[in-house]
Amino acid sequence: MSEVRRELGAVAADMSGGDSQRLLGEQSKKGAHGGNLVSPVRKLPDVEAMSAEDVLRWAYEEFGDRLCLTCSWQKQSSVLVHMVAELELDIPVIELDTHLFFRESYETRDRLVERYGIRLLPPPPLITVAEQHRQEGPNLWETDPDRCCHVRKVEPLLQALEPYDAWISGIRRDQSPSRATTPKVQWSERYEVWKVHPLADWDEKRVWAYITINEIPYNPLHDVGFRSIGCIPCTRPIAPDEEERAGRWAGSDKLECGIHVETPLGGT
Ligand code: SF4
């Protein structure tokens, strides 16, 4: 953990309630924004009143090359990749690849890379599915999906975020009750980064309108009932009257893969 992030975490931990999302502590910025520039502790701007584009611009100015974007090649990834390109922000992309994505998701990635020339970072180390079978038993996604998500999503993301102070994600409040209170910017104790959610207040219709108007490549599985898309073993298409994420871990009470929750890390 970097000293800078430790300081940031301490600042956030000292605050209480809503204020824990309102202060920005010291941070270092390297490269394009100059080496080890340290800014004083100050209040966040009113990010909740900002548009998605303004949130991205603000984050880029604030964090510079210590800012990254994660993508799993669902519709939100298409929106954010397009928006970042339109704003001419040089933000690297971390692919949250579990090696268990649908072929259509990888093809969507390739189309977005081709169209926008996004800077895709090398994937963090991840054991193969065959190795996981040997180490943890067969089909871990059936026997212990939380453990499987921890191994294939949370641990790789922890490593991938190590060089960064802030992480842009496409999660939205209306996706599920578990995301209903998502702020546009928040400090993550677990990852020791600021999480930036430019699309937090977008609904699904707005996502589709943006994709359609701007003719952005998107995952074709969305056209055949997959409103939320993850790994093959844990994703199914849903009926129009079901919740957007009802097809993820269907038949279980699992709602989240674990990367967007703040429970302490304990190997699950
Ligand atoms: Fe494993 Fe399913 Fe989680 Fe993918 S979504 S990491 S297959 S439990």
Question: Using 50, 70 and 90 to split pLDDT, how confident is the model at 249?
Answer: confident
What are the helix (H) ranges across 87-203? Answer: 103-116, 129-136, 140-143, 145-149, 155-161
How far, rounded to the nearest angstrom, does the alpha carbon of residue 239 sit from its chain's CA centroid? 25
Which residues lie with the beta carbon below 6 Å from any ligand 1 atom? 98, 100, 141, 145, 148-149, 152-153, 230-231, 233-234, 257
Tokens of 1: 């953990």
User: Long-range contacts: 135-144, Cβ < 8 Å, 24+?
Assistant: 139/233, 141/100, 141/231, 141/233, 141/234, 142/233
Task: Kindly indicate whether the domain formed by 51-234 is annotated with CATH number 3.40.30.10.
Answer: no
Question: Is a pLDDT exceeding 90 seen at residue 88?
Answer: yes
Residues catalogued as catalytic: 257
State which of 72, 73, 143, 153 you would mutate to test the pocket of ligand 1, scoring each by most atoms of that ligand within 8 A of its C-beta. 153
Position in ligand 1 atom list of the atom nearest CA 233: 7
Position in ligand 1 atom list of the atom nearest CA 248: 5
DSSP state of 66: G
CA distance 226 to 247: 7
Q: Ligand 1 atom 5: the closest Cα is on which residue?
A: 231
CA distance 246 to 234: 11
pLDDT of 256 reads 66
Looking only at the bridges linking them, the beta strands covering 23-24 and 67-71 are unpaired
Question: Is a pLDDT exceeding 70 seen at residue 14?
Answer: no
Position in ligand 1 atom list of the atom nearest CA 230: 5
CA distance 214 to 203: 17
User: pTM value?
Assistant: 0.85
90-144 tens-digit pLDDT = 999 999 999 999 999 999 999 999 999 999 999 899 999 999 999 999 999 999 9
pLDDT of 251 reads 72
Distance separating the N- and C-terminal Cα atoms of the chain: 21
Question: 67 and 51 in contact (C-beta within 8 Å)?
Answer: no
CA distance 198 to 171: 8
Q: Which residue, among 252, 258, 106, 92, has the nearest Cα to 191 in the 3D structure?
A: 258
Q: In the beta sheet, which residues pair with residue 71? A: 95
pLDDT of 20 reads 40
State which of 97, 102, 149 you would mutate to test the pocket of ligand 1, scoring each by most atoms of that ligand within 8 A of its C-beta. 149
Q: Which residue, among 268, 27, 57, has the nearest Cα to 151 in the 3D structure?
A: 268
Position in ligand 1 atom list of the atom nearest CA 152: 6
Question: 221 and 229 in contact (C-beta within 8 Å)?
Answer: yes
Ligand 1 centre distance from Cα of residue 232 (Å): 8
Ligand 1 centre distance from Cα of residue 105 (Å): 15
